[in-house]
Amino acid sequence: ERELLVNAIENADNSDIEHVVHILQTVKAFDYTRSKAQESADLAKQSLSNLQDSDYKEALILLCDLSLQRKS
pLDDT tens per residue across span 13-71: 778 888 899 999 999 999 999 999 999 999 999 999 999 999 999 999 999 999 999 77
pLDDT of the residue at 3: 87
pLDDT of the residue at 37: 96
Distance CA 55, CA 68 (A): 20
Is the pLDDT at 12 greater than 70? The verdict is yes
pLDDT of the residue at 72: 64
pTM strictly above 0.85? no
pLDDT of the residue at 36: 98
Q: Where are the alpha helices (H) located in 1-72, listed in sequence order?
A: 2-10, 17-26, 29-48, 55-69
